[in-house]
């Protein structure tokens, strides 16, 4: 579905965190499929997917089953967030003020910003290594800077350009990874391709969790890329195009990583295994993955910048920044990440994955609260003006019910956690499988619903006539 604004929409995005009015809405709902399919065919999900057989010692069949289960489950939550975009017309993080209050939302916004800055920095390291793998004469630090600049230009241009690149990338990367699968499966270099590893419940659960958390990690910014669609786009259409694109693209990448490491000798670095396993087409695959990293990493920069703008706007509430402000903040983030990535240790990506696992413990309860509030309590009806007011308008500075449910949602996960900082007793008992995200969702969702629907302030808001943007 498109509007007349589709062809007249400027290439350089003028909006940041402000409401996108109907006259500026544009695009087609199918663009969400190409965005999340193309964006997920990249080195980082390939490296993550390989962990199921490398770290958790699953065989190929059980590794694939775990990957599919995780993405299919986690993708539901991610796609439900995406469906909020056309209805609200604002970025995901600033919408959180409607659940937590104008000041209560700050912690979640800060955590999301840190996570996406980490994603951006990790991906420019991968870009640097990929470029060095393609052209040996380009040192990794130089490759890091080149990758960051490419992503920065895309991120600064913004929403429409990101969608255009991923429409192209879906075809190029989709064909590329299918050809790569074909080459690997016809040139297997090991005798234990199907027999290496075995089923073990802790490894299987850990791999399911990795795949599900990969999807949930998109939740804080997925609706940023659907908010320009016309408000009358069906919720189901937004959900399914996002869900199918993300679940399919990420599953292919995860499985590709597992297949590549099983087809090569034990102990190889994943991307080295990919290069060796793809043989004659290896250099071409690395070029495609390099372009994918640069394109997809623009989403991380874009999301990080919107989170930072949201933080500042909480206190400078009259300020709704322009494209120029977004560009300046993007450059600052880009330079800081380049400095950190160039000077980082060799295991930068490993440390980042550890950090993400910690941050997701505090993002999972936010996901539960946001989805319950949107679909079950407010049913898509919000007062946009209040969201941008310094005192939170009808939502206030703090929402005690949401903050209480959020704190309990974090606390109940602790026994089930498995992070570099802490391993809970339940996780230790099941050989390290991290089920904290499951417990966090199952406890926080009904708890918040119970607290919110018994809140007299909510009932007054519901009858005040100020709630808008009905589903």
Residue 5 binned pLDDT confidence (cut-offs 50, 70, 90): very low
Q: Is residue 369 part of a domain?
A: no
Helix axes 235-262, 43-54, angle to 10 degrees: 60
Which has more confidence, 376 or 350? 376
Residue 198 binned pLDDT confidence (cut-offs 50, 70, 90): very high
Which has more confidence, 430 or 438? 438
pLDDT reported for residue 7: 46
Site of tokens 């903050």? 403
Q: Give the C-alpha separation, 134 to 151, whole Å.
A: 18
Token pair for residue 248? 């399919």
Answer yes or no: are the C-beta atoms of 120 and 344 closer than 8 Å: no
The pLDDT tens digits for 59-111 are: 999 999 999 999 999 999 999 999 998 988 888 888 888 999 989 998 888 88
Q: Is residue 407 part of a domain?
A: no
Segment 319-336 mean pLDDT? 82
Q: Give the C-alpha separation, 179 to 184, whole Å.
A: 9
Q: Give the C-alpha separation, 293 to 273, whole Å.
A: 18
Segment 253-264 mean pLDDT? 94
Count of the separate structural domains present in the chain: 1
How far, in whole angstroms, is CA 311 from its chain's centroid?
A: 19
Q: For residue 333, what are the domain limits?
A: 5-348
Q: Give the C-alpha separation, 364 to 162, whole Å.
A: 27
Which has more confidence, 164 or 354? 164
CATH number at residue 181: 1.10.4160.10
Q: Is residue 395 part of a domain?
A: no
Q: Is residue 42 part of a domain?
A: yes
pLDDT reported for residue 346: 59
- What 3 state SS string does 286-303 have? HHHHHHHHHHHHHHHHHH
pLDDT reported for residue 404: 95
pLDDT of 2 above 60:
no
pLDDT of 3 above 60:
no
Q: Which of 466, 96, 162, 119 is nearest to 313 (CA)?
A: 96
pLDDT reported for residue 308: 87
Residue 203 binned pLDDT confidence (cut-offs 50, 70, 90): confident
The pLDDT tens digits for 216-234 are: 988 888 888 888 889 888 9
- Whole-number percent of the chain with pLDDT over 90: 29
Q: Is residue 383 part of a domain?
A: no
pLDDT reported for residue 351: 65
pLDDT reported for residue 74: 94
Q: Is residue 414 part of a domain?
A: no
Q: Is residue 451 part of a domain?
A: no
Q: Is residue 49 part of a domain?
A: yes
């Amino acid at each position: 579905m498109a509007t007349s604004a589709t062809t007249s929409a400027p290439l350089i995005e003028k909006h940041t965190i402000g409401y996108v009015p109907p006259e500026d809405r544009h695009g087609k709902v199918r663009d969400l499929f190409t965005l999340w399919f193309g964006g997920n065919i990249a080195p980082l999900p390939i490296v993550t997917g390989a962990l199921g057989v490398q770290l958790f010692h699953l065989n190929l069949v059980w590794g694939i089953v775990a990957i599919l289960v995780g993405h299919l489950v986690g993708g539901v939550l991610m796609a439900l967030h995406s469906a909020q975009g056309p209805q609200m017309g604002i970025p995901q993080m600033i919408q959180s003020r409607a659940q937590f209050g104008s000041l209560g939302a700050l912690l979640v916004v800060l955590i999301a910003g840190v996570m996406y800055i980490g994603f951006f920095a990790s991906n420019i390291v991968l870009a640097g290594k990929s470029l060095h793998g393609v052209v040996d004469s380009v040192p990794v630090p130089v490759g890091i800077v080149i990758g960051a600049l490419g992503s920065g230009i895309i991120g600064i241009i913004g929403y429409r350009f990101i969608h255009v690149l991923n429409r192209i990338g879906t075809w190029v990367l989709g064909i590329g990874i299918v050809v790569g699968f074909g080459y690997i499966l016809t040139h297997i270099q090991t005798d234990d391709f199907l027999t290496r590893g075995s089923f073990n419940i802790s490894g299987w659960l850990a791999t399911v969790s990795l795949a599900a958390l990969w999807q949930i990690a998109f939740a804080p910014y997925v609706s940023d890329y659907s908010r320009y669609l016309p408000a009358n786009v069906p919720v189901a259409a937004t959900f399914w195009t996002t869900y199918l694109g993300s679940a399919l693209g990420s599953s292919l990448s995860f499985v590709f990583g597992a297949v590549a490491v099983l087809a090569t000798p034990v102990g190889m670095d994943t991307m080295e295994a990919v290069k060796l396993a793809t043989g004659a087409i290896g250099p071409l695959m690395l070029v495609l993955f390099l372009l994918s990293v640069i394109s997809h990493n623009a989403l991380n920069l874009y999301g990080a910048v919107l989170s930072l703008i949201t933080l500042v706007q909480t206190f400078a509430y009259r300020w709704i920044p322009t494209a120029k402000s977004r560009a300046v903040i993007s450059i600052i983030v880009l330079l800081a990440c380049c400095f950190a990535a160039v000077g980082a240790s060799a295991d930068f990506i490993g440390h980042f994955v550890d950090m993400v696992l910690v941050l997701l413990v505090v993002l999972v309860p936010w996901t539960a609260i946001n989805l319950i509030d949107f679909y079950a309590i407010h049913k898509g009806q919000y007062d946009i003006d209040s969201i941008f007011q310094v005192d939170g308008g009808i939502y206030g500075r703090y929402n005690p019910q949401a903050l209480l449910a959020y704190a309990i949602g974090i606390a109940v996960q602790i026994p089930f956690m498995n992070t570099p900082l802490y391993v809970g007793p339940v996780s230790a008992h099941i050989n390290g499988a991290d089920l904290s995200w499951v417990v966090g969702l199952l406890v926080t969702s009904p708890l918040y619903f119970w607290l919110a629907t018994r809140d007299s302030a909510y009932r007054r808001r519901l009858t005040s006539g100020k709630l808008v943007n009905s589903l």
